[in-house]
Structure 1
Amino acid sequence: MADRSFDIARLPGFATIAVTIFVLLYLPIAMLVIFSFNAGDNVAIWEGFSLRWYPEAWANEAVKQATWRSLQIATCAAIIATTVATMAALGTTRRRQTRGQSFVYLMINQPLMVPEIVTAVALLIFFSSIKVATGYQGLGYLILAHAAFCIPFAYLPIRARLEGMDLSLETASADLYATRWQTFRHVTLPLVMPGAIAGLMLAFVTSLDDVVITLFVKSAGQDTLPTYMLAQIRRSVSAEVNAISTLLLLLTVVLLTAFFLLTRKRT
């Protein structure tokens, strides 16, 4: 008897729609990468292959400062977000299910569901009050704002890792008279580390690429690389921006590939 199971991939037009979607998604990115090697100044007309825009971008002092500032913010925000997310994941997975557990998950993942512009306005109002009260105008506000936004991105892979872990090893550690701290340090933490590293990289990429929250929270002279690029594009589209975007794309692909390798299930 013939197999009559439903297979969406066999529906008429499925392959055409899939190919069209992939072309629409990735063709602009491919064009960006190609034109970052354009020898001419015009970003829309190909004038030959050249690497000139990469050295020019690197020689630009504003690009260097924005890049260094972005890396500082993303690194600090990712570490803070991952630390908080790890504690939240332990608190929501290493305990009995209680009433209101779904509400806790909702609150932790709230930045994922609320439009980013709403989060940005809320952070602007909150940090503006602190700026007026303290007079402090440093990068600490951007780091905390990015960390708050990145917590759910770090939380999801860590929670998934913890939910897939057997409690028997931790129970055996307690049976051998290990303290809770010893159990966490020598049993739980090594087992959850792949998820924590994956969450750290995901939070880092999210912070590095953020524009909306940065625009609302930053003070004068605190442009990150994405906001610097946005300001440049508003003036004139330069192939230098294409080169910077290509390097950011490369960094993102490397980190997301590492994220995939760390979170995939091993057979």
Structure 2
Amino acid sequence: MKSKIFRWISKIYIGMIFIYLYLPILIVVVYSFNKSSAGTAWMGITMDWYRKLFQDLNVIIAFKNSLVIAVASTVISSVVGATGAIGLYKYSFRGKGLVEGLLNVTIVIPEVIMGIALLMYFSQIRLPLGIGALILSHATFSMPFVYIIVKSRLAGFDHSIEDAAMDLGANRFKVFTSITFPLILPGILAGAMIAFILSFDDVIINFFVSGPESTTLPIKIFSMLRFGLSPEINALCTLMLLITFGILIMMQFIKINRIKEESN
């Protein structure tokens, strides 16, 4: 009897946590279809706000900027982060612990401080604020996440496979392309997807480093909020949520397929 009560309490507790986490998101999605322009009073269902979004040139430009920045910074952070993880995991050198510590510090630094630091740095080297500065900034704060995920993947597979391949005559390049890279590829893809989400959704770094011609989608939403909350903002947030959740679902499919391959 006690165990049954405990199970029910556990289910209710977990349900309350999910309600707390996802109910605000659900409200945003539901009110993106609201006829009322006030954004709070429900007046019925409409798709007009989505049509208005797709006809807004400024929103389309902001979306393109966000997409270009996210893709470019993801490629840079994935290459640098994966290369760094392989090098730091496989080789020992003086100062290795310091380098790893500095990479981890980047994750816990408040974004406001990083935004100010990047703004000052770009001003010192006279790099114009805009798309290029945003790509470098996003790659900087995304790269440690890729590094950590790839390094954990490197620590998770049997390295005796590499030794066996080298004993059979394979050189280091052949071992890397045939064994190491395929095994860490899921980690690289997972890190790349996280880097993309972090870049696409970022506000604070964009606020400091973006130029007048490089407005991103989160900054566009922030500027629209100055005129009050409207269903158009809810519709824009819903589209961003769809992109984010789509990437997360892709990550789960990659993870599940990889587990199935390893079990077989």
The TM-score with structure 2 as length reference comes to 0.88
In the alignment, residue 194 of structure 1 is paired with which amino acid? P
1:156 deviates by: 2.4
Structure 1 stretch 52-61 or stretch 159-168: which is displaced more? Answer: 159-168
Q: Distance in 2 between matches of 1:137 and 1:27?
A: 38
Number of aligned residue pairs = 256
1:15 deviates by: 5.4
Aligned: 1:40 with 2:36: yes
Aligned: 1:216 with 2:211: no
Q: Distance in 1 between matches of 2:114 and 2:208?
A: 10
1:263–1:104 CA distance, 2 compared to 1 (3 A): farther
Which SS does the other structure have where 1:70 is aligned?
Answer: helix
- The answer (yes or no) to whether the contact 2:122–2:129 under 8 Å persists in 1 is no
**Of 13, 19, 24, which residue of structure 2 is paired with 1:23?**
19
**Of 227, 242, 257, which residue of structure 1 is paired with 2:234?**
242
**Alpha-carbon deviations, 1:32-89, whole Å to 9, x = none?**
0000111221210111111111111011000000000000000000110011110111
Aligned: 1:151 with 2:152: no
- Taking only the aligned residue pairs, the percentage that are identical comes to 36
Counterpart position of 1:165: 157
Counterpart position of 1:230: 222
In the alignment, residue 21 of structure 2 is paired with which amino acid? L
Aligned: 1:55 with 2:51: yes
1:182 deviates by: 2.4
Counterpart position of 1:69: 65
Counterpart position of 2:88: 92
Q: Distance in 2 between matches of 1:52 and 1:34?
A: 14
1:162–1:64 CA distance, 2 compared to 1 (3 A): same
- The answer (yes or no) to whether the contact 1:43–1:238 under 8 Å persists in 2 is yes
Moved over 6 A (4+): none
In the alignment, residue 251 of structure 1 is paired with which amino acid? I
Aligned: 1:119 with 2:117: no
Structure 1 stretch 98-107 or stretch 153-162: which is displaced more? Answer: 98-107
In the alignment, residue 129 of structure 1 is paired with which amino acid? Q
**Alpha-carbon deviations, 1:132-157, whole Å to 9, x = none?**
xx6x4441110000000001222222
RMSD: 2.4
Counterpart position of 1:110: 105
Counterpart position of 1:261: 253
Q: Distance in 2 between matches of 1:224 and 1:62?
A: 10
1:211–1:137 CA distance, 2 compared to 1 (3 A): closer
Structure 1 segment 5-16 matched on structure 2, within 5 A: 10=6
The TM-score with structure 1 as length reference comes to 0.87
Aligned: 1:130 with 2:125: yes
- The answer (yes or no) to whether the contact 1:202–1:259 under 8 Å persists in 2 is no
Q: Distance in 2 between matches of 1:115 and 1:15?
A: 35
Q: Distance in 2 between matches of 1:118 and 1:76?
A: 23
